[in-house]
A = this chain, B = another copy of it.
C-alpha cells in the first residue's frame, strides 16, 4: 500500500486537533463510532503481538459515582502539593469530565500474558505497558477523527480502581477514559491556554 502526499497532511491535522477533553455533552456515543474505536485499538502495535490491553466499558452508575469520589479524593491530595499562585492555578483547572461523559472506559494491561510468548519483553517488561499506551492513543485518534472528545484521567489510585472493578489477578489499571461529544472546540489545548505549561519541544540531538 502506497499512500499519497495527503495522507501525512491529514494525519498531522488530526493529531493537531486532538485534545484532552474535560467538557462533554451527555448525548450518547453512537455504537458504530464505538465499533471503530475498538477497531483502532485492535490495530495498535504490540510487543510479540501480545495485545496485553483489556478494556472495560463502565455503565454502572454506582461504579461511576465511586470513581468520581476517588478522583475528588486524589485530586484534593494532589492540590496539597502546590502553594501560592501555582496552587491557585491548579484549583482553577478542570481535570476530568467524569460527571458528564456518556462513554467511560477503564483500560488495563496484563502483567504477564500468554499471548506473544514473551517475545521482545525479556529485557524490557515495560514494552507491555508501552503497547497498551499506544492502544489508548489509537483509540484517542479514532475518537477525534469521528469528532468525539476523549479525556484521559490518571488522578486515581490504580489499586483502588482494580479493587472497585473486581478485575482478574494480573490486570493492572492504566487509564480511565471519558468519551463523548465536546461542548466546545478550541485551537489551543486547555493546559496551554490556562498558562499551566507552555509548549516546549525538545530538539532531536545527533550523536
The answer, yes or no, to whether A206 is at the interface (CB within 8 Å) is yes
Instruction: Determine the interface band of chain A, counting residues with CB < 8 A from chain B.
Output: 35 or more
The answer, yes or no, to whether A157 is at the interface (CB within 8 Å) is yes
For A58, list chain B residues within 8 Å (CB): 206-207
Could you tell me the distance between the alpha carbons of A146 and B58 in the complex, rounded to whole angstroms?
Answer: 38
The answer, yes or no, to whether A26 is at the interface (CB within 8 Å) is no
For A10, list chain B residues within 8 Å (CB): 7, 10
> Is A157 a contact of B123 with CB atoms below 8 Å?
yes
Could you tell me the distance between the alpha carbons of A1 and B119 in the complex, rounded to whole angstroms?
Answer: 41
> Is B45 a contact of A137 with CB atoms below 8 Å?
yes
One complex includes copies of this chain to the number of 2
Question: Given that A3-B147, A11-B141 are contacting pairs, would A124 and B158 also be in contact in the complex, using a CB cutoff of 8 Å?
Answer: yes
Residues 164 to 207 of chain A near chain B (Cβ within 8 Å): 165, 174-175, 185, 187, 189, 191-192, 196-202, 204-207
Chain B residue, CB-CB nearest to A137: B134
Could you tell me the distance between the alpha carbons of A47 and B1 in the complex, rounded to whole angstroms?
Answer: 34
Could you tell me the distance between the alpha carbons of A31 and B195 in the complex, rounded to whole angstroms?
Answer: 33
Q: Considering residues A59, A121, A204, which has the most beta carbons from chain B within 10 angstroms of its beta carbon?
A: A204
Q: Considering residues A3, A47, A81, A105, which has the most beta carbons from chain B within 10 angstroms of its beta carbon?
A: A3
Knowing that A45-B152, A57-B206 are A-B contacts, what are 4 other residue pairs whose CB atoms are under 8 Å apart, sorted by A's residue number?
A: A12-B142, A56-B206, A124-B154, A129-B133
Query: Can you name 16 A-B residue pairings with CB atoms under 8 Å?
Result: A2-B147, A3-B17, A3-B146, A8-B145, A12-B40, A42-B201, A49-B196, A57-B204, A58-B207, A78-B118, A81-B122, A90-B119, A117-B197, A119-B191, A124-B158, A137-B137
Interface of A toward B, CB cutoff 8 Å: 1-3, 7-8, 10-18, 20, 36, 38-45, 47-51, 53-60, 63, 74, 77-78, 81-82, 86, 90, 93, 95, 105, 115-124, 126-127, 129-131, 133-134, 136-138, 140-142, 144-147, 152, 154-158, 165, 174-175, 185, 187, 189, 191-192, 196-202, 204-207
